[in-house]
Amino acid sequence: MSKPKETLNPFEIARTQIDRAGKKLNLDAGMLEILKNPRRELTVHFPVKMDDGTVKVFTGYRVQYNDAVGPFKGGIRYHWNVSLDEVRALSCWMTWKCAVMGIPYGGAKGGVICNPKEMSKDELEHMTRRYASEISIIIGPEKDIPAPDVYTDGQTMAWIMDTISMAKGFAVPGVVTGKPLAIGGSLGRDEATSRGLMYAVREAAKKMKLTLKGATVAVQGFGNVGMHFARLMHDEQGSKIVAVTDSKGGIFSEKGVDPKEVLAFKEKTGSVVGFPGTKPVSNEEVLELEVDILAPCALEGVLTSENAPRVKAKIIGEGANGPTTPEADDIFHKRGIVLMPDILANGGGVTVSYFEWVQNLSEFFWTKSEVDQKLEGVMVGAFNRVWDMREAKKVDTRQAAYMVAINRVVEAYKWRGIFP
């Protein structure tokens, strides 16, 4: 039997989370309505000439959720499952992520329905440039600043930056973040989400009197975020990485593995599966291992009311967006498992995106150690605000993070008022 409560679409989950926090904050109905709806939604249908000479029409979205505290900010994803409700939900979560981190951005998100795995580099470039041109009416350094997301990267951002620059007649590096260093990218951006996650887990461990040196860690999703997180926990905290998985399966070793060796193996074979000296473990089993720290860094909705009672980790750090359902949140809270929610735990990426934007606007660049130091300051500050709210209101960490974020946006509305 399926559980209809847990098959809510992502935007309904996002709105449920706002309702939960709003009730705790005693928000009035009018303010709640503002917070539960995007400010602006753009849907575009545009033709692209493919390599074989045929013309294909693609559908893309850009949802600008809220800009009470500053310009819109959020990634662009290329995926066959992109939908308007998914983009709405992601733009909503970006709003709260920026607010909880204390950076002066609102939330946005974009996406194009396509299968990038089946497209050539030329086709991807033509599609990206045309999509950028279609949404150019609402993006810009002072309006809305896109970034990479699923199946987009620094090259995608470079094409968008060039497209907007060509239309303007001069270089506009600040229109996107996550760019290559050669055109105004920031040092430290590639590992920023993982480094932020490490800082969040470290601060939670301090509160729980858990020593990270020798602590066991399982990572679901050995992509960019999961790989860098495993490496940083291993190299900088002295933790033991006992399990990692990717889309093809996973590996487990009681003695622990060196993430750099696993990465080298994956680059050679295409997967972590079969890494010497390890036992196989599935993406489902990795969530239920007896470990100190669990980091879901792959897909949304993997921790549910069905498997939450069997999770044995003391700390869960959400490297992915939305990996835990509201029902699972309640179970973890009752069981005393400390969950670092996505809007706090993976806020390092957008924070260093903000640093990149600041560097672009000032045309002055920082060293890697300066970026890491500033990121640590932002992450620790955000963690402390959330933890204080959790203790004061006796709620779980996700609700505390939402309450901190929503408070900040509501405060902005109080000062700005409702136009006209």
57 burial via Cβ count (<10 Å: 0-12, 13-18, 19+): exposed
Q: Can you say how many angstroms the Cα of residue 312 is from the centroid of all Cα atoms in its chain?
A: 24
Distance CA 238, CA 181 (A): 30
Give the domains, in start order, of the chain with CATH numbers: 4-173 (3.40.50.10860), 192-345 (3.40.50.720)
Output the CA angle 171-173-175, nearest 5 degrees. Answer: 110
Nearest to 92 by CA among 28, 18, 26: 18
Per residue in 288-333, pLDDT tens? Answer: 999 999 999 998 889 999 999 999 999 999 999 889 988 999 999 9
**In whole angstroms, how far apart are CA 136 and each of 161, 166, 167, 172, 195?**
10, 12, 9, 12, 32
Share of the chain above pLDDT 90, in %: 94
212 pLDDT band, cuts 50/70/90, is very high
8 pLDDT band, cuts 50/70/90, is low
Active site residues: 109
The answer to whether residue 2 scores a pLDDT higher than 50 is no
- Point out which residues pair with 72 in neighbouring strands: 106, 144
The answer to whether residue 65 scores a pLDDT higher than 90 is yes
52 burial via Cβ count (<10 Å: 0-12, 13-18, 19+): exposed
Distance CA 64, CA 300 (A): 21
Distance CA 418, CA 400 (A): 26
Distance CA 293, CA 117 (A): 33
Q: Are 318 and 294 in contact (CB under 8 A)?
A: no
